[in-house]
Structure 1
Amino acid sequence: MKAALCLLITNNALAQKKAPQFLIKAKIANFTDSLLFLNYGTLSASSIDSAVVKNGVFTFKGHVKEPAVAMIFTKNFKVKIDLYLENSNIAVEGDANSQFKYKVTGTGTTKEYEQLNQRFMDNRIRTVALFQKAYDLKNAGDTVAAKQLQARADSQYQWEYKARHEYIAGHPKSYISAFELLGYTTTITLSNSIKLFNGLDASIKESNIGKEIAARIELLSKVEEGKPAQEFTQSTPDGKPVTLSSYKGRYVLVEFWASWCGPCRAENPNLLKQYQLYNNKGFDILSVSLDNNKDNWLKAVEKDALPWTQVSDLKGWSNEVAVLYGIRAVPASFLIDPAGKIVATGLRGETLNKKLETLFGQVPAN
């Protein structure tokens, strides 16, 4: 019995020793902090580690059950390096003064992801340069040339979305395709995302990230256009509970935002204008804040002069309504009809304005 127990312990120890590991060795020029972090895994199940940095040199080591997306970063995100981890040796080189000048060297999935990422980084460098040149020309008074460059920059920016889509469709056995698909899947892209997911190899569908995509598709299928809106209750700043069902009989735009979100704040003047135009015709807005700081939330509401109802549980990205509706980016919105059915998602700017004009008719200018 003792011999058998010793043998079992020995075998377990050998198994642990033989477990493959990843080893990241890195050197970052002009790095002044003393600490870096590594986060890896899926969105629903991730791990985090830290490393002390000396003269820009640091290492990370560990084990992953399957290739996993990862990020090396500092607290202020001045350094942010995206990579894919697998149990092998990985080398990282870069410069803390340049967010685009990082090189990751590895094999397998790590190499595959780096090659794809470099394509996107090269395009991003060219696109940023065009946006800057267009901005300079506009300030110099050459609005015609600025508009032309802006159009080129917009086209280059949109190329990245097309390239990611093509990669997913063309690499059904790749973990990277699964990662790209997870980020691509929203209420707006849901139909296409389902087709892309169905085209993935069975081994990828059954992986951890594949299961996360399936769960996200299932969640978003409950809040797509044409479905009854998911009921919820959340409180106003003074603690008054507000239910979505209390808006039955009116069109209501459920708007997810946050005080720290620049695009959200930029859209608020347009929301205010539409609210003033159509509120007495049966249109309302219910804003759900993803803030975790009450003072910041209330200051933003006051500064932007928002008269409609505001709710939040102050849990940030873990806001219970945001989780229920699958929100991973803001601004995000759902237009719900008087019967409680979702009739449109992602409405902003002119798309929102035109939709409301279709529903309520054009309001004469004062």
Structure 2
Amino acid sequence: MKLKKNITLGLFISASVTALAWQQSGKPESFAVNGNLSGFNDSIVYLTYGTFDDTKIDSAKVTDGKFTFKGRVEEPVQGMLFSRDYKLRLDLFVDKGAVEVRGATDNLKVAGSAIVNDYALFNQEIMANRKWVNNIFTEAWNAKQSGDTARARLLEADGNKWYAYEYEIRKNYIRQHPSSPISARELLMYVNNKTLDECRPMYEALDAKVKASLQGQELTRRMELLSKIKTGNKALSFAQTAVDGQTITLNTYKGKYVLLEFWASWCGPCRAENPNLRKQMDIFGSKGFNVLGVSLDKTRDPWIKAIEKDGLTWTQVSDLKGWNNEIAVAYGVKAVPANFLIDPSGTIIAQDLRGEALNQKLKEIFK
């Protein structure tokens, strides 16, 4: 089957460049999200909404596909409407007044304020691109199953290209809409230690009103934090209690290389990397390489059991505060696994090295 793209990427965003009129009231104002879904048989639906640091969740009873959520917001904020089985999952913006959600679960239409409508249009392009990517990877899988590995490789490469293009859609929106609160949220979700320099011009271009919003303030704090922990900077000092009750600080590793590894017992990708960390410790441990595990667990028992089951021989610390782990907060960790490679002088020399990337970096250091 020959794939043919039938969507025009960039159409929705480029057609909506004008600044959006919105007003941050400074006080909560009422909203209502009203739904009328066809073919939806569950009795309950959920809505999350709010800023990144203050997200609320609510549930509503569904009767004949109809439901209503009511609440208050100080400014337009991102939300997600979803069912228990996630067969219904819709990203949307919540703003004061009425937000109407209509249609079948696989073809929902959203209407409301200018911000709500603009985000719906933006999200339409994101979803169209994702559908296209899924079609490509499905065709690649079919080609592989039929033994046509050459075609499968070409399709996978094409799929990866369009998968990456989603980020271009998002960045394009931010650049074209410096006066929209949607841009603040999008930039907050995109910026990390690897994209910080790329994001600075987009941040500087944001309207002062956007920066002053609650989401804009979150973005500013995030940018400032990431600036402190960028590669080439001195690592931030810390102190936390190890499994054996000993207090471990960054100074404990003065004069040594240490990989500050953020993980959790419930994190599958973290656990999958542990065998490689054991291997690298066996190879380079005697040459000055160390690992310090920082767990984002909330309870001690699963943390200790994971350490034992995975055979982790290096020092492990945790304050059992989950995502509020004080070291994780200081280092801006929003997802795990995450790590920072710190040299003997206490300087961050690399971040988020896993698998072969970590292996090659250590070979370079200890050659």
Q: What is the TM-score of this pair, normalised by structure 1?
A: 0.85
Question: Bigger CA drift: 294-303 or 272-281?
Answer: 294-303
Q: Which residue of 2 aligns with 1:110?
A: 116
The 2-side partners of 1:178 and 1:195 are apart by 13
Of 324, 336, 344, which residue of structure 2 is paired with 1:338? Answer: 344
Between 70-79 and 262-271, report the one with greater CA deviation. 70-79
How many corresponding residue pairs? 340
Distance 1:179 1:235 in 2: 35
In structure 2, C-alpha distance between the alignment counterparts of 1:198 and 1:278, rounded to whole Å: 43
CA distance in 1, matches of 2:158, 2:103: 29
Aligned residue in 2 for 1:39: 48
1:98-133 Cα deviation digits (max 9, x unpaired): 5xx433222301111111111111111221232233
User: Which 10-residue stretch deviates more, 79-88 or 148-157?
Assistant: 79-88
CA distance in 1, matches of 2:168, 2:147: 33
Q: Which of residues 260, 266, 276 is equivalent to 1:270?
A: 276
Q: Is 1:120 the equivalent of 2:120?
A: no
CA distance in 1, matches of 2:104, 2:319: 40
Contact 2:29 2:74 survives alignment (8 Å): no
Could you say if the C-alpha distance between residues 136 and 247 of structure 1 is closer, same or farther in structure 2, counting changes exceeding 3 Å? farther
2:209 is the alignment partner of 1:200: no
Aligned to 1:253: 259
Q: CA RMSD in A?
A: 2.3
CA distance in structure 2 between the partners assigned to 1:149 and 1:74 by the alignment: 33
The alignment status of 1:310 with 2:319, answered yes or no, reads no
* Cα deviation code 1:225-258 (max 9, x no counterpart): 1222112222333433322221111111111122
Question: What CA deviation, in whole Å up to 9, does each residue of 1:174-212 have, x standing for no partner?
Answer: 111111000111111112222211111111111111111
Query: What 5-or-longer segments of structure 1 have no aligned partner?
Result: 1-18, 362-366
Contact 1:258 1:297 in 2 (8 A): yes
Q: Which residue of 2 aligns with 1:67?
A: 76
Question: 1:15: which partner in 2?
Answer: none
Q: Deviations over 1:293-335 (max 9, x none)?
A: 4343334333433322222222222222111111111221111
> Following the alignment from structure 2 to structure 1, what is the Cα–Cα distance between the partners of residues 39 and 45?
14
The answer as to whether partners of 1:51 and 1:58 remain within 8 angstroms in 2 is yes
Q: Which amino acid aligns with 1:191?
A: D
Q: Secondary structure at the match of 2:336?
A: coil
Post-superposition shift, 1:139? 4.4
Q: CA contact under 8 A between 1:257 and 1:264: conserved in structure 2?
A: yes
Distance between the aligned counterparts of 2:325 and 2:201, measured in 1?
A: 29
User: 2:198 corresponds to which letter in structure 1?
Assistant: N
Partner Cα separation in structure 1 for residue 281 and residue 137 of structure 2:
33
Deviates more, 1:326-335 or 1:265-274: 265-274
Distance change >3 Å, CA 146–CA 261, structure 1 → 2? farther
Which amino acid letter does the alignment assign opposite residue 344 of structure 1? A
Q: Which residue of 1 aligns with 2:157?
A: 151
Q: Distance in 2 between matches of 1:276 and 1:139?
A: 39
Kindly indicate whether residue 66 of structure 2 is the aligned counterpart of residue 57 of structure 1.
yes
Find the aligned partners of 1:147 and 1:289 in 2 and give their Cα distance: 38
Alignment partner, residue 185 of structure 1 = 191
Larger radius of gyration: 1
Q: Structure 1 pair 313/74, CA: closer, same or farther in 2 (3 Å)? A: farther
Helix, strand or coil at the partner of 1:81: strand
Alignment match of 1:323 (pick from 306, 319, 329): 329
Query: What does residue 48 of structure 1 align with?
Result: 57
- On the 8 A contact 1:188/1:346 being kept in 2, the answer is no
AA of the residue aligned to 2:219: I
Matching residue's letter, 1:150: E
Aligned residue type for 2:36: K
Aligned-residue offset at 1:292: 2.5
Residues 1:92 and 1:154: Cα distance change in structure 2 (over 3 Å): same
SS state at 1:343 partner: strand
Quick one: which amino acid aligns to residue 170 of structure 1?
Q
Of all paired residues, the percent bearing the same amino acid is 48
Match of 1:354 among 351, 356, 360: 360
Change (3 A) 1:314 1:193: same
Take 1:89 and 1:41, find their aligned partners in 2: how far apart are those partners?
16
- The 1:152/1:180 distance shift into structure 2, 3 A limit, reads same
- In structure 2, distance between residues paired with 1:36 and 1:205: 33
In structure 2, C-alpha distance between the alignment counterparts of 1:28 and 1:261, rounded to whole Å: 35
Give me the TM-score of the superposition, normalised by structure 2: 0.85
Q: Give the 3 Å change call, closer, same or farther, for CA 74–316 of structure 1 in structure 2.
A: farther
Deviation at 1:213, TM superposition (A): 0.7
Q: AA paired with 1:180?
A: E
Deviates more, 1:244-253 or 1:312-321: 312-321
Q: Which runs of 4+ in 1 moved over 6 A?
A: none
